[in-house]
Amino acid sequence: MSTLTSVERDTTIFDLINKEQHRQESGIELIASENFTSPQVMEAAGSVLTNKYAEGLPGKRYYGGCEVVDEIEQIAIDRLKSLFGATWANVQPHSGAQANTAVFLACLNPGDKIMGFNLAHGGHLSHGSPVNISGKYFQPVFYGVEAETGLIDWDKVEKQALQEKPKLLICGASAYSRDWDYARLRNIADQVGALLLADISHPAGLIAKGLLNDPFDHCHIVTTTTHKTLRGPRGGVIMMRNDFENPFGITTAKGKVRMMSSLLDSGVFPGTQGGPLEHIIAAKAIAFGEALTDGYANYATQVAKNAQAMATAFIDKGYKIISGGTDNHLMLIDLRTKNGVDYGLTGRLAENTLIKADITINKNMVPFDDKSPMVTSGIRVGTAAITTRGMVESDMARIVDLIDMVLMNHDQEAKIASAKTEINTWMKQFPLYV
């Protein structure tokens, strides 16, 4: 008899897992970087594939017994390429940050200059923040939004790039609600001889279904997470539509020029990771398959519709949305004034108060914020998760009404408790896992 069959069930952890499932099912999930996966994605993520070590790539492993995981990983690669019209993909990165780090290792030398979107304006930690490896090992410079519009001025980006001459130009964000001009950015990159990297971690699902501009014909390299609008397991991937000879003169041992895909593969393994998580890769493959369906296309369209309806509802209540609206699934809200009045709201106060009502958002810095990252003047909200539950445009106004009621009565525990009861009852109409 296997010694595994006699292992005592860890009720401490499983009780907490059940508690977390109840939390997810009972409340309104508005964190823009979160979503709910399908049961089959979770089933694969918890499968026996977690037992298999598989350093290397399909057909080129450093371990035996990889015949099955080779098939699974190749299916994940093929489905991902089909989803985005790519010609090459690596599905092994453990996260979006890991995917970006692999790109940096493949394309840069320590001290090289990179130019990315300012974290304080809605950018991402892995695009040059001084507390991240991207800012510690490379020389970061940043572009941002205009104070008056909340939009990126592409003319200013071009002027800055011509002055700074980065080796890598990065586009993409974690809290920017507008589409990106990839064609313009490629023109800028070409002028300064830079590679162009698009990190589409947030809007990837909408891009895959043609709802936003396509970065693939313009950007040399594209990275994304798999767990936001793509609705898959937590992880990352790297893709290209058009492979190309590396511009660094790097050759193989036989003197043949290495293609960029080969450098990127090496950037993942052995550059930044060891064995891939084949159970997560299987879950990715399932999610990519789901994303190829007509049902997912309808879902992505509804995500965008819900975001626009929610933005309108917030604006109608007098809240300030950075850039004045949204093109994707999220919005960044400046809480310093509402209808021109300062109600003393901060991002931290809003996050902590809304949690009491079972509404989950995250505090977020806004451009030109006068508060610390642990306090912030804003919140970020997104519609990916609530759309997965089946909510539509007509539900967005009610959500905003509840948020507004809680925030305007943040010191009234009875009203917050009443909102929580209403939300818990309402969410029973949108079951997650039945």
Is there a catalytic annotation at residue 199?
A: yes
- Marked catalytic residue, from 113, 186, 231, 234: 234
Q: Is 123 among the annotated ligand-binding positions?
A: yes
- Among residues 25, 29, 73, 199, the one annotated as catalytic is 199
Distances (CA, A) of 55 to 69, 70, 107: 11, 11, 22
Mean pLDDT of 286-305: 98
332-386 residue pLDDT tens: 999 999 999 999 999 999 999 999 999 999 999 999 999 999 999 999 999 999 9
User: Domain spans of the chain?
Assistant: 43-292, 304-428
Which of 53, 112, 153, 337 is flagged as catalytic? 53
Q: Give the active site residue among 34, 55, 243, 393.
A: 55
Q: Residue 255 — very low, low, confident or very high, per pLDDT cuts 50/70/90? A: confident
Kindly tell me the sign of the dihedral angle through the C-alpha atoms of 52, 56, 58, 60.
negative
CATH number of 43-292: 3.40.640.10
**Residue 125 known to bind ligand:** yes
Q: Are 176 and 117 in contact (CB under 8 A)?
A: yes
Q: How many residues does the chain have?
A: 434
What was the pLDDT predicted at 146?
97
CA 90 – CA 102 distance, rounded (Å): 11
* Closest to 287 (Cα-Cα) out of 76, 99, 431: 76
Which DSSP helix (H) or strand (E) runs through 177?
Answer: none
Residue 5 pLDDT: 80
Q: Which one of the listed residues 101, 224, 225, 387 is annotated catalytic?
A: 225
pLDDT of residue 253: 80
Active-site residue 234, yes or no?
yes
Averaged pLDDT, 146-167: 98
Q: Is 121 annotated as a binding residue?
A: no
Residue 331 main-chain phi, psi, to 5 deg: -150, 150
The domain made up of 304-428 has a fold known as Aspartate Aminotransferase, domain 1 (3.90.1150)
The fraction of the chain above a pLDDT of 90, given in percent, is 95
pTM, two decimal places: 0.96
Is residue 119 annotated as involved in ligand binding?
Answer: yes
